[in-house]
């Protein structure tokens, strides 16, 4: 299981969704939460943290965002030498088969459908962490 001090990056262009996800994460006992409003700002934040020796332990990103989508961010993360093992959970209101397949091919750790409860989030995060553990 993941530790409560896991450093989490929440990425969503909707401020209310970032607030909603952070509320759920705090209910689950997580306190080390940072946020970004787009994939394009999330990627440098992930890189800087990794370079500083304080890497994020989980990326929780919305799918549909301007500039860089959650899927594009995932692809960049998986192609990055220092970030490629990071558990990534994509959050979306969509569930097109083609979209799910694309995310799996790109290496998503798990997939969370909106609307969701704190318990739904906990289960998806736990599964994402266990996948990384198994792969490690």
d(CA 82, CA 75): 13
CB of 7 to other proteins, least distance (A): 22
Cα–Cα nearest to 121, from 16, 5, 53, 30: 30
CB of 98 to other proteins, least distance (A): 11
Binding site for other proteins (CB under 8 A): 14-17, 19-20, 23, 64, 92-96, 114-117
CB of 116 to other proteins, least distance (A): 7
Contact 54, 7 (CB under 8 A): yes
CB of 80 to other proteins, least distance (A): 27
Q: In the numeric block, which tokens belong to residue 23? A: 């509320």
d(CA 86, CA 119): 22
Nearer residue to other proteins within complex by CB, 14 or 126: 14
- For residue 16, how far is the Cα from the chain centroid? 17
Nearer residue to other proteins within complex by CB, 64 or 130: 64
Q: Hey, which residues does 111 pair with through a beta bridge?
A: 90
Nearer residue to other proteins within complex by CB, 17 or 45: 17
Nearer residue to other proteins within complex by CB, 39 or 57: 39
């Amino acid at each position: 299981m993941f530790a409560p001090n896991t450093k989490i990056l929440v990425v969503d262009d909707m401020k209310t969704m970032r607030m909603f996800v952070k509320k759920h994460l705090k209910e689950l006992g997580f306190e080390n939460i940072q946020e970004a409003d787009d994939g394009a700002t999330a990627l440098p934040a992930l890189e800087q943290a990794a370079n500083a020796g304080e890497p994020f332990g989980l990326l929780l990103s919305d799918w549909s965002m301007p500039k860089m989508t959650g899927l594009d961010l995932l692809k960049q993360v998986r192609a990055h030498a220092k970030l490629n093992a990071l558990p990534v959970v994509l959050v979306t209101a969509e569930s097109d088969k083609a979209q799910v397949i694309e995310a799996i091919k790109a290496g998503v750790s798990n997939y969370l459908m909106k609307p969701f409860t704190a318990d739904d989030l906990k289960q998806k995060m736990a599964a994402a962490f266990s996948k990384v553990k198994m792969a490690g």
